[in-house]
Amino acid sequence: MPITVDAVIPEDPQKTMRQRVDAKTNNNYCMRCHEKINPLGLTFEMYDDFGRFRTVEALEYPENLIEERPLKTNDPDFDNRDIYKTLPVDATGYLKGTGDSSLDGEVKDALDLIDRLAKSDRARQSVIRHAFRYFMGRNETLNDSKTLIEADQTYLKSGGSFDELVVSLLTSDSFIYRKQPTKTE
């Protein structure tokens, strides 16, 4: 983010977070980046700040308070959160740039986004490449192509087992015959 950007999302007791983000980023300067960020990130509006699923967003401002709940009760299952006016959550988004036209397009929410990415060869290979980098402690080279291909095949044959992927990487020639880093590295 450029240093000149005021990244504070304005408060508005009548709007959801998505509406406020759209209002803040809907200009030529911000949209250069947010046209890529918003369509994916806003699909996660189906979860609150704590990761709890929701279909409505509580507008937690004093003027929207409907019922104030007691802080303490003897009932451990009692939800003591105050009740506020709500608006429906819009978790729709858009996926593009996967390199696969059957995956790109409108997504209804984060779960739909995840399902589409799970079908993407590019996303799978990216995860495998990052696992390689983590376990090898370095970026891949052309000499590692056999290891990466075998890791991808192992992952697919195992039905997507990350454990099998790790075993494949840690028993590969790239791992067994890796060079020790020098002091200058």
Tell me the pLDDT tens digit for each residue of 96-115. Answer: 888 788 889 999 999 999 99
Predicted TM-score of the model (pTM): 0.74
- Which two tokens mark 119? 């079908």
Which of 32, 11, 33, 5 has its CA nearest to residue 23? 11
CA–CA separation, 89 and 164 (whole Å): 38
pLDDT of residue 126 exceeding 70: yes
pLDDT of residue 11 exceeding 80: yes
Looking at the structure, tell me whether residues 93 and 126 fall in a common domain: no
Domain annotation covers residue 158 = yes
**Which of 117, 135, 154 is at the close of a domain?**
117
The two counts, helices (H) then strands (E), for the chain are: 7, 6
Looking at the structure, tell me whether residues 102 and 21 fall in a common domain: yes
Domain annotation covers residue 31 = yes
Looking at the structure, tell me whether residues 39 and 127 fall in a common domain: no
Domain count, the chain: 2
Domain annotation covers residue 4 = no
pLDDT of residue 3 exceeding 60: yes
pLDDT of residue 185 exceeding 60: no
Looking at the structure, tell me whether residues 74 and 128 fall in a common domain: no
Asked if 25 and 31 count as a contact pair (C-beta separation under 8 A), the reply is yes
Looking at the structure, tell me whether residues 111 and 148 fall in a common domain: no
pLDDT digits (tens, 9 = 90+) for 152-184: 999 999 999 999 999 999 999 999 877 776 676
Residue for token pair 């809907």: 26
Residue for token pair 């506020």: 84
23-30: Cβ within 8 A, 24+ apart:
29/5, 30/5
List the beta bridge partners of residue 58.
86
Which structural domain range is residue 158 located in? 120-176
